[in-house]
Amino acid sequence: MKKIIIICIFFLVTGCYNYQEINELAMISTIAIDYQEQYEIIVEVKEMNEQEITTSYLLNSKGQTLKEAFINLENSFDKSLYYPSLDILLVTPTAFETQLKPVLNYLINNLNWSVNFSIMSSDTPELTIQKIKEENKVCGLYLKNILDKKQEINIPFSTFLDDLLTNNYTTIPKIIMNEPLDFRNYGVSNE
């Protein structure tokens, strides 16, 4: 009899304490980070419409620190941001050159992120995202698809981090706003 009571209590007490409906999550496809005296982040959220077509919309936020910018973003939006769905991280050369260590510290220490995304650079990330969106494409999915086809320029975040920490230098693809979209190597130094 005690075993039955213990089993019943076990099933009644256990559960999903942090369960969230998928409708309450904002699936992130692209995050762009820029730094001009303060951090500016642009997040592209992907979602399925009634016709089961993937669409997206943009959210913007600013802050003195990267953490503050993300907190401001999360506080201004009614859904929970879902970072593990991230496809592409776009970082401006200015952010790489002046704020590399704070950006990397934030990305590494934030447990909500996965490391299954690729990293790229863009001088004008908002323009890049808007240009791809004008073609009715989700920027992160579009760029990830290109990188999957061009493995020689695809730099997963884990590879980027490993190269940077081991060699103090690595290269990543930089988006050049041409017709069609073009890529160049961009060097990133840990010094």
Instruction: Give residue 32's pLDDT.
Output: 93
CA distance 83 to 81: 6
Q: How confident is the model at residue 160 (pLDDT cuts 50, 70, 90)?
A: confident
Q: pLDDT of 64-77, one tens digit each?
A: 999 999 999 989 88
Q: How confident is the model at residue 39 (pLDDT cuts 50, 70, 90)?
A: very high
Q: How confident is the model at residue 54 (pLDDT cuts 50, 70, 90)?
A: confident
∠159-84-128 over CA atoms, to 5°?
Answer: 75
Asked if 83 contacts 41 with a C-beta cutoff of 8 angstroms, the reply is no
Angle of helix 66-75 relative to helix 93-109, nearest 10 degrees, comes to 70
78-82, 126-130, 187-191: which has the minimum mean pLDDT? 187-191
3-state secondary structure of 9: helix
Alpha carbon of residue 13 to chain centroid: 36
Virtual torsion, Cα 161, 162, 165, 170, nearest 10 deg: -70
Q: pLDDT of 9-35, one tens digit each?
A: 655 555 555 555 666 778 888 999 999
What average pLDDT does the segment 161-169 reach?
81
